[in-house]
Structure 1
């Protein structure tokens, strides 16, 4: 009796979820690859538990098996002909080199003239290439240029991106367009991805390494740019079965922790005495001030707060709260869906915005830049760039830890995945309210 096979699980490789499997013995004659690695195109940070990736690899595996079965049964695939070779053959025969769809549209007389080449010379007719050229050739897949790589990747990721908001999709596209443009400049021009050599990747790596050492950009930023191209290359290579070499493997810069410094939390005393002093933020508009207040006491991400709708804000509930959902946009992870109690300055701020922050909806990047610029210009970043608006999220987590809030409740409030096996439904609204009320700042007069 055959042993039941375990379901395939996504594998974390280079920060992305992959389908990795061996070619079954029964299909070895139709697929020479011993080990198959196909990228799902889903980043691990976007799907930490591999929930979406698990669905993706099962679909990919079904498609693989379908392809193997078709090849094994002799089902014909597309008969591709080298386009340049087809044109040269047509020139030798003295006929126009036309594609199959163009031949079909020919007038009857022209079509008969083409077929005459086969009738006149049986030996020529036996030439498979000549027969295909006369009948109209089907060119092989066009080369994928670096300049087209983002388009191809975006097409293959359309189902993975369907929950992203227009702003999120625009940012995804802009980031990768910029990265590809940089790569093309480094190489001195566009080229097909099939022509990429390891030397090209090392040239890109050296470019980013030089920027780290001479311009002070972080290793994280450099690796992010390299990995974006690598992920798109691997995705297109896998899905389109191009069978190109893994030229990007181990291309990331080595990080010894010298250049990448994490953002650090604001001290609780600094928040209470400086940031929550009404005079400190007076020159910042009310909406931005209120966003700071909400983040300070909930630990929510800026993108989660600016995109709240009226139906997500519950100010008259026994415990006032906001509901973080992925209605019109993609959240960072499934655990980002959560209810957050409103206490202290967060409750005061949200009472001014019962319908949300319409002015800044889908504009979190612009708001973040605006607030951080204000903090810089008004000397409100004691640790320089290591302090930012996001530091308030770090601060809330530290404040919860200092009052001995349990790990699972802390992670539930932050919207983080729980490490290890997770039991039950997690912290409820009352539990989270208990801990957030315990660390709430004093609400200053005039705020």
Structure 2
């Protein structure tokens, strides 16, 4: 028995079908490919045929939507855009796929590609599970079916929370834009938000020192990035997206300026900050300046085509670190370790928050500009001495 639109890999059948050229504008890929999750030729043939039939039906729908409506010239719609039927606005219906386009067109300007992908992927999951409907046609049952499908895929509670948050943002924004009264069924959906969530572990001080020693030994661009993060607690994306001018190594207080750039946004408004450079972070900053002259980026390899590719940096560095760190520890563990190391030298909590770009509770914390650099430098110097 042959299995249509398929191939095998390690005995597992995969569905694969090319997107028709005339519909390529609706997709961000040239072909659709995914696992059929079976080694049985009969099961694979059934699933592949069902998937092909679903695609044929949906592609017919897309082609009809792109084509001129038969008898369109007979509709009682004035040139100025009056209503065809009394009481029903022409913009009164909006499909979820159209809602994504509205959302990205209005809110996606200047946002990174990951922002666009998150909206398209999350709402694409909804369309795959319960269909591409008018926003008002979605029900709580649809939302629950969608939740169950995500759980069945083995996604963690935090991932499901993120997907539902994106879907709510897209649907609420699009409904507001077109003036649709909308009771969002994707709000208030219950699921275990802690299911499958792994706590991120801080790196022990001895491990931090071991990794820093390896960085000094290898002395290359990747290790400069590790060393820079290790004694500043920056997020990896913040460090990978630094401009060369953000690393100030001269003067009484060498520092790194963490600010937004066209190629890399910050996670929150409070993430804008300056952190004194001490220990191996200062060494790394000096090595970066000595090796990079006349460029814009501190790490050019991770800043191409106007975007910072922090995922690539994370994959490479986590792979290098894995044999040397305890289970569950990653590059982000340096950020958790910084907080513990500052606690160990009894650094005040609000100074810790300022150094890490964390939100400090309390109305009064919003007043003033925070601690001056010389105070931050004093505590960062204690941190380094306290861990050597």
Say whether the 8 Å CA contact 1:147–1:190 is kept in structure 2.
yes
**Could you tell me how far 1:254 is from its partner in structure 2?**
2.8
Q: CA distance change for structure 1 residues 347 and 281 in 2, over 3 Å: closer, same or farther? A: same
The whole-number CA distance in structure 1 between the counterparts of 2:255 and 2:217 is 25
The whole-number CA distance in structure 2 between the counterparts of 1:409 and 1:254 is 34
> SS where residue 256 of structure 2 aligns?
strand
Matched, 1:97 2:39: no
Q: CA distance change for structure 1 residues 152 and 281 in 2, over 3 Å: closer, same or farther? A: farther
**Could you tell me how far 1:258 is from its partner in structure 2?**
5.1
The whole-number CA distance in structure 1 between the counterparts of 2:114 and 2:221 is 23
Structure possessing the higher radius of gyration over alpha carbons: 1
The whole-number CA distance in structure 2 between the counterparts of 1:208 and 1:101 is 45
- Which of the residues 278, 301, 304 maps onto 1:359? 301
Residue in 2 that maps onto 1:77: none
In the TM superposition, what whole-angstrom CA distance separates every residue of 1:183-223 from its partner, at most 9, and x where no partner exists? Answer: 21212x32222211111111001112223xxx3x3211112
Corresponding residue pairs, total: 305
Structure 1: runs of 5+ lacking an equivalent: 1-86, 104-127
TM-score by length of 2: 0.71
Residue in 2 that maps onto 1:405: 347
Say whether the 8 Å CA contact 2:92–2:178 is kept in structure 1.
no
- Which of the residues 248, 263, 274 maps onto 1:339? 274
The whole-number CA distance in structure 2 between the counterparts of 1:439 and 1:152 is 48
Residue in 2 that maps onto 1:266: 203
Q: CA distance change for structure 1 residues 270 and 96 in 2, over 3 Å: closer, same or farther? A: closer
The whole-number CA distance in structure 1 between the counterparts of 2:276 and 2:341 is 16
- Which of the residues 309, 316, 325 maps onto 1:370? 316
- Which of the residues 245, 254, 258 maps onto 1:311? 245
The whole-number CA distance in structure 1 between the counterparts of 2:272 and 2:164 is 31
In the TM superposition, what whole-angstrom CA distance separates every residue of 1:114-159 from its partner, at most 9, and x where no partner exists? Answer: xxxxxxxxxxxxxx99xx79xxxx961163222222211123325x
The whole-number CA distance in structure 1 between the counterparts of 2:139 and 2:330 is 40
- Which of the residues 223, 227, 252 maps onto 1:289? 223
The whole-number CA distance in structure 1 between the counterparts of 2:357 and 2:141 is 42
Say whether the 8 Å CA contact 1:281–1:289 is kept in structure 2.
no
RMSD: 3.1
The whole-number CA distance in structure 1 between the counterparts of 2:203 and 2:265 is 28
- Which of the residues 77, 81, 90 maps onto 1:140? 90
**Could you tell me how far 1:411 is from its partner in structure 2?**
0.6
Say whether the 8 Å CA contact 1:408–1:427 is kept in structure 2.
no
Say whether the 8 Å CA contact 1:275–1:281 is kept in structure 2.
no
Structure 2: runs of 5+ lacking an equivalent: 1-68, 293-297
Mapping for residues 141-290 of structure 1, pairs under 5 Å: 141=91, 143-158=93-108, 162=110, 164=111, 168=112, 170-187=113-130, 189-211=131-153, 215=154, 217-255=155-193, 257=194, 259-272=196-209, 274-278=210-214, 282=218, 286-290=220-224
